[in-house]
Amino acid sequence: MKREVIDTDRAPHTGMPYAQAVRYGNLVFVAGQVALDPATAKPTGGDIAAQTRRVLDNITAILEEAGTSLQYALDSLVFLKTTADYDAFNAAYRAYFPKDGPPRTTVEAAMPREQFLVEIRIIAGMPD
């Protein structure tokens, strides 16, 4: 199998030493995404719901570039700055996964920058 780097201008580029995603066989591994504007790669503000939507929109763009979508998500790893945001996060997340979302692990963690409230990593399969 060949390792293919996935890259799109519809999601932010951080300048850090990692790919937005890698496709390996029928799996796509999306790097953890935070609330960055794709056009400027600058942090976007807002509450946990707004940041969750920005993160999942960025992930959606990356998955689409790879030829798949959130519908094929197999695993989700979520880092929350504070578990006090858990309910509001879930409400925003549910809009992207209204039924049968992927298995998910959610933990409270320090964020790489103070203004980030959430980071999400997704592993997805390819459609048949």
Output the pLDDT for position 6: 98
pLDDT (mean) for 70-97: 98
User: Do 6 and 19 form a contact (C-beta atoms < 8 A)?
Assistant: yes
pLDDT higher than threshold 90 for residue 9: yes
79 pLDDT higher than 90: yes
Spatial distance between the Cα atoms of 94 and 82, rounded to a whole number of angstroms: 18
pLDDT at 112: 84
pLDDT for 7: 97
Residue 12 DSSP SS3 = coil
Helix and strand counts by DSSP (H, E) for the chain: 2, 6
Which pLDDT band, with edges at 50, 70 and 90, does 127 fall under? Answer: very high
Identify the structural domains of the chain with CATH numbers, from first to last: 3-125 (3.30.1330.40)
Name the residue among 73, 16, 61, 11 with its Cα closest to residue 36: 11
Of 13-17, 33-37, 81-85, 101-105, least confident by mean pLDDT is 13-17
Helix (H) or strand (E) holding 88: helix 86-96
Cα separation, 22 vs 107, in Å, equals: 24
Residue 90 predicted with pLDDT over 90: yes
Q: What are the tens digits of pLDDT across the range 20-60?
A: 999 999 999 999 999 999 999 999 989 999 999 999 999 99
Cα–Cα distance for residue pair 55/121, rounded to 1 Å:
9
Using CB atoms within 10 A of its CB, is residue 9 exposed (0-12), middle (13-18) or buried (19+)? exposed
Average pLDDT over residues 123-128: 96
Beta strands in 8-117 (DSSP E): 21-24, 27-33, 73-80, 104-108
Residue 94 binned pLDDT confidence (cut-offs 50, 70, 90): very high
